[in-house]
């Protein structure tokens, strides 16, 4: 049985705070960009269970990428100074089982927590 340990979507404000504030301040066009950005973030989900990590993308059409935790070869964490302060970042998960077996997670909050859950 697969018990969900962690499930999340990318964050808006903490990922790109300057872009978020600019979109909020510019009427109509900025709000439209903010709405499209929000829909894109809601359409992407990462799920970590006790046996696998899965990334789902898309609202109408869907793309899924799943890596069994026993096949994880490497987890790369990238954060700039602002991202470290806001606790958001980019994770790259590589699989030893397949040549193209990788998951790229951009803009997720608490990336160190996700990395630690993958390595458990």
Instruction: Give the domain extent around 83.
Output: 4-119
CA distance 70 to 18: 39
Q: What's residue 84's pLDDT?
A: 92
pLDDT for 57 beyond 90: yes
Where does residue 92 rank: exposed (0-12), middle (13-18), buried (19+ CB within 10 A)? Answer: middle
pLDDT in tens, 81-97: 999 999 999 999 998 87
% residues pLDDT > 70 (the chain): 96
Q: What's residue 95's pLDDT?
A: 87
Name the token pair of 116.
């630690």
pTM of the model: 0.84
Domain harbouring 56, CATH code: 2.30.29
Q: What's residue 99's pLDDT?
A: 64
Q: How many domains does the chain contain in total?
A: 1
């Amino acid at each position: 049985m697969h018990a969900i340990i962690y499930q999340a979507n990318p964050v808006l404000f903490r990922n790109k705070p300057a872009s978020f504030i600019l979109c909020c301040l510019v009427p109509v066009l900025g709000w439209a960009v903010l709405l499209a950005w929000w829909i894109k973030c809601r359409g992407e989900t990462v799920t970590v269970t006790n046996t696998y990590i899965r990334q789902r993308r898309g609202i109408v059409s869907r793309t899924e990428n799943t890596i069994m935790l026993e096949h994880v070869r490497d987890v790369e964490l990238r954060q700039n100074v602002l991202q470290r302060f806001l606790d958001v970042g980019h994770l790259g998960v590589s699989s030893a089982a397949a040549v193209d077996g990788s998951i790229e997670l951009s803009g997720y909050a608490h990336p160190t927590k996700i990395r630690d859950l993958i390595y458990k």
